[in-house]
Structure 1
């Protein structure tokens, strides 16, 4: 009996640290990005979206200041990444203070892959994915709903808009710049899906510059050196075509991230891209 009591007492004592740890975990607050909040918004077609809005540290105490703005896709993945990169670059005074608006989806367990494939592709390519080609509608939603909402509620310098994205998001960023040149004069296209629909974006680029040879913008395009060789070749070819074009006011930075593949190249590319597109108005 004595041994049994000792054994029970030992088990109870051993469980105390676990109970304390569990209590600490339950009382721990979720990690939050600095100066960031979320806003729900619904498209005309009824799709539930979420805006991840990050304000600069000085926003609250600078009521007369207007800020450049970055709109980017895939906030479900890249909001923490871009927030961290921006904080570091702002500390180094490598970029101006700016507002960042990430666009993602809300609702119960959204299918990010299916939703982003439809929204971020400008044309329907049935050889790749049947549910695609919603880029035009998504861009209209950004132009007519998201931008008016954001820029009526926050102090934005409307002359300084940047559109950014990775992969399909990079493809969409290029499409948005060509389709709405008055809306976006800065663009970051990280590992853009140039091969999409027989390189549709390259055809759009040709058509655009025939009609807009003096178009003025700052454009950053990147890829990872360890991405699929055919993908790297398509992005590199697109980069060089723009680089070699004569009589244009487009300022271009081509960037290759060494020893990184499709997703791993994002961090370095976004850091370089943010510095490049804002280089003319650095603090």
Structure 2
């Protein structure tokens, strides 16, 4: 159901609901600064925003979308679960992307100062996969950051190479924990090779690509890693 419920937290932070998504906009007081979309598994992205502030990244509008149906909204197509007790991935990315572009982004742009210098998209884990997938489905995003992206997803590497981006971003950031590929799961084990391969692939296409390997596993310092990725594309 479409509804807008605004809750003012402070002068630079607003929350509103739209189609059951809980959206938090961290606004810059400056005009015409970048707008970055960050899809999150849980919470409102405050930890990421604080890390960005600590890094001196104050010239940014950060749009955080929460209450996401994670395995549905962030997955490009159906894939069985990689764990027996978890839901399968049901391929709702196209529908969610339409909602993001047609409804959520326009509302956010009404609330910020001026026009964004550029619009970027960032995400961690499955949202990192979604950020890369969005490059192939829309020309809205100028820059992309995929932190510990789920680039092990079935047939995703082949999809990227078979298809053309709607708009090749001028900057793309990839990162991964140096222990993420140390697993017995044969699907997850491919994540580092795939991330490195895609980094080189987009670099060869002409994007400015940054690949960074962080210490730790998939769940180490997620807010800090997310902020580092967003900073890299600013």
TM bracket (short chain): 0.7 to 0.9
Deviation at residue 235 of structure 1 after TM alignment: 3.1
The correspondence for 2:39, drawn from 55, 73, 98, is: 73
Question: Aligned residue for 2:217?
Answer: 261
Question: Aligned residue for 2:3?
Answer: none
The structure whose residues are more often helix, as a share, is 1
Alignment of 1:176 with 2:134, yes or no, is yes
Question: Aligned residue for 1:240?
Answer: 197
Deviation at residue 228 of structure 1 after TM alignment: 3.9
Alignment of 1:204 with 2:170, yes or no, is no
Cα distance change of structure 1 residues 245 and 167 upon mapping to structure 2, 3 Å threshold: closer
The correspondence for 2:26, drawn from 54, 63, 66, is: 54
Cα distance change of structure 1 residues 276 and 131 upon mapping to structure 2, 3 Å threshold: closer
Question: Aligned residue for 1:3?
Answer: none
Cα distance change of structure 1 residues 245 and 38 upon mapping to structure 2, 3 Å threshold: closer
Give SS of 1:67's match.
coil
Alignment of 1:192 with 2:149, yes or no, is yes
Q: How many residues are aligned here?
A: 218
Q: Any gaps of 5 or more consecutive residues in structure 2?
A: 1-8
Q: Structure 1 residues 142-151 or 233-242, which shifts more? A: 233-242
Give SS of 1:192's match.
coil
TM-score, with normalisation over the residues of structure 1? 0.69
Give SS of 2:115's match.
strand
Question: Aligned residue for 2:92?
Answer: 134
- 1:207-231: CA deviation from partner (whole Å, max 9, x where unpaired): 234x77x934211111111224253
Q: Any gaps of 5 or more consecutive residues in structure 1?
A: 1-31, 43-47, 106-111, 279-283
Find the structure with the greater CA-based Rg.
1
What is the rounded CA distance, in whole Å, between the counterparts of 2:180 and 2:17 in structure 1?
35
Cα distance change of structure 1 residues 74 and 195 upon mapping to structure 2, 3 Å threshold: same
Q: Report if the CA contact (8 A) 2:38-2:121 is conserved.
A: yes
Cα distance change of structure 1 residues 202 and 50 upon mapping to structure 2, 3 Å threshold: same
Deviation at residue 234 of structure 1 after TM alignment: 2.5
The correspondence for 2:207, drawn from 250, 262, 265, is: 250
Deviation at residue 84 of structure 1 after TM alignment: 0.9
TM-score, with normalisation over the residues of structure 2? 0.82
What is the rounded CA distance, in whole Å, between the counterparts of 1:166 and 1:246 in structure 2?
21
Cα distance change of structure 1 residues 34 and 254 upon mapping to structure 2, 3 Å threshold: farther
What is the rounded CA distance, in whole Å, between the counterparts of 2:175 and 2:17 in structure 1?
31
Give SS of 2:229's match.
helix
Alignment of 1:222 with 2:137, yes or no, is no
Deviation at residue 269 of structure 1 after TM alignment: 2.3
Question: Aligned residue for 1:39?
Answer: 16
